[in-house]
Amino acid sequence: MRVRVQWGRNPGMAFSGFEKGQVRFFRQLAVKQDRDWFKAHKTEYEALAERPMKDLIDDVYRAVEKQYKGFALRPPKLFRIYRDVRFSKDKSPFKTGSSAVIGLQGSEEEGPPAALYVHLGTRDYAGAGHWHLPPGKIARYRKLVADEKTGRELQKRLDALARRGFKVESWEALKRVPPGFPPDHPRADLLKRKGVGISFPKIPPSVRFSPKLASWLAARSAEAAPLITWLEKHL
């Protein structure tokens, strides 16, 4: 179970960029992984990571909302710094980055996609889409991929994004093409996937610690949104 911090932000605040000390803080936390150390440095975490991330995702939200016309978005959510270690062999109590998501409305059973997910810390990541489809949508997804018309259209859209530096990802994938489909299917890789997540290109160093990061993420979201909305309409 992923726990998220409820959204809240001072009106009138705008994203002004992350300090480079944000990465240094998370590198220290990765080594320490100590609750007492974190408690003593919590105000530093809030200033370097939590508040800037809230400002960033709030600024980007306004742009993303326009990109998903006809779809209702959830308010932006900031994930907590504490790891859920109940079912993990790694008992490290803290994450080594701050992350937030803007999701489409829908129940967990419906598995709504992320319009934007961003993680910034010892490693950086941004993307959108369905990294893990719920069981009820997997059959529809495979039918979509296998169909000659919709399958070609999906591949065309993915190829266009790939040429711009985006990558297709999923949390799970079968080793073989699922039963009922030819092993040599031209879209075998997509048939084996249990989701269609899209990772954005690497964040340029010139914008990583700049206020321009908000507009860079919004621009990448604008490129990915037509694919995500197309998938939602078909699933």
Over the stretch 194-224, which tens digit does the pLDDT of each residue have?
Answer: 999 999 999 999 999 999 999 999 999 999 9
- Report the mean per-residue pLDDT for the chain: 92
pLDDT at 107: 79
At 31-47, the pLDDT tens digits run: 999 999 999 999 999 99
pLDDT band for 87, please (50, 70, 90 cuts). confident
pLDDT at 9: 46
pLDDT at 185: 96
- Average the pLDDT over 101-124 and give the result: 92
pLDDT at 17: 97
At 138-186, the pLDDT tens digits run: 999 999 999 999 999 999 999 999 999 999 999 999 999 999 999 999 9
- Asked whether residue 109 carries a pLDDT value surpassing 80, the answer given is no
The percent of residues above 70 in pLDDT, for the chain, comes to 94
The percent of residues above 90 in pLDDT, for the chain, comes to 86
pLDDT at 218: 98
pLDDT at 3: 39
pLDDT at 136: 84
- Asked whether residue 7 carries a pLDDT value surpassing 80, the answer given is no
Phi, psi at residue 213, to the nearest 5°? Answer: -60, -40
The ranges assigned to domains in the chain are 4-234
Question: What is the CATH class of 4-234?
Answer: alpha beta
pLDDT at 13: 61
